[in-house]
Chains A and B, each alone.
Chain A
Amino acid sequence: MVATLDETPTVRTLSLRVPDWPGHLPGQHVDIRLTAPDGYTAQRGYSIATPANGERIDVTVERLEDGEVSPYLNGELVVGDQIELRGPIGGYFVWEPSRGGPVLLVAGGTGVVPLMAMVRERARRASTVPVRLLLSARTFADLVYRDELDRLAAADDGFSVTYALTRGAPAGWTGHRRRVDEAMLAEIAWPVEAGAQTFVCGSTPFVEAVTSGLVALGHPAASIRTERYGAAGAS
């Protein structure tokens, strides 16, 4: 690990230098394995938050207090420590500007991580593919990458971001103050005729709610790609 950045009180980005990293596509993940001194191993999947950048990859990890892996990664691990990982993994939940648009991205909490790699790649390529991001979080402080997302949206180059806060909002908040629902999706999603590609990432209940909302609005299920995460972890 070469650097860390605290994104929110419970979410930290770990910058890793991986010798011989072959590169990756936005949306792919790595499996990180921890091995205890007695040989016990625990493994979880973590999405890569950044586009391909040589041997460097960033993963953004939410600290789950009853978790087996995240309290170590987001808490104990310090710059200079080594960890075991494999990747890049997954070819389904990926998007890059050459795949065109329009694109709708919907994230709950740290579900924004793989979508951020897509948004960052779009900016890095100076792409103007229309992309809308809807990010739901508990509170204002829990909006991961908010400053960067606001900056990218301010460029007015076809990227926009909308926030939904589910557990209270600061004074003067003009965004949504409820869970993502069908009415919110109707407002933010592209018209069905636009033939948008949609990527949804979050907890399982979040992904199910968003997917059924979009399907109810007439979006073909096959146009919606999903990735679920949970405390049970991946792999």
Chain B
Amino acid sequence: MTSDPHYLDGNALGGLLGEVFAADLTTATATCAGCGSVAPVAVMHVYVDAPGAVGRCATCGIVHVRVVQSAERTWLDLRGIRALEMPRLPPPTSPPRP
């Protein structure tokens, strides 16, 4: 059991980050700028009781990401992520299917 059961995880950021990034970011691996650990974004501890969402490193706890949305704008702070690695999207060569 944890002493602080209020967090969720990076799966909960999928929709928010999906508005910003073309690729699914929950499967992207993030390198922590604090401790150097490498883990999927889905593993991050996410606090949604703030005005926005705050994602923290599951290993060392530093803030990886903050996302705040208003009706018109998204504000994204990726301070604690040194690198993101994700599969490339398929090339946009095939015509759209009906």
Binding site for B on A (CB under 8 A): 29, 31, 39, 41, 43, 45, 86-87, 89-93, 203-205, 208-209, 225-230, 232-235
Selected contact of B14 from candidates A90, A203, A208, CB within 8 Å: A90
In this complex, the member of B2, B9, B16, B53 whose beta carbon has the largest number of chain A beta carbons within 10 angstroms is B9
Does the CB pair A204–B6 fall under 8 Å? yes
Closest to B41 in A: A92
Selected contact of A228 from candidates B7, B18, B40, CB within 8 Å: B7
Cβ proximity bits B2-43 to A, threshold 8 Å, 1 near / 0 not = 100111111111111010000010110000000000001111
CB distance from A160 to the nearest CB of B (A): 26
State the interface size on chain B (CB cutoff 8 A).
26
Selected contact of A234 from candidates B12, B18, B40, CB within 8 Å: B12
CB distance from B45 to the nearest CB of A (A): 9
Cβ proximity bits B49-70 to A, threshold 8 Å, 1 near / 0 not = 1000100000000000000000
Given A209-B1, A234-B48, the answer on whether A89 and B8 have CB atoms closer than 8 Å is: no
Does the CB pair A203–B48 fall under 8 Å? no
CB distance from B47 to the nearest CB of A (A): 8
Complex-state Cα separation, A67 to B20, whole angstroms: 28
B71 within 8 A of A: yes
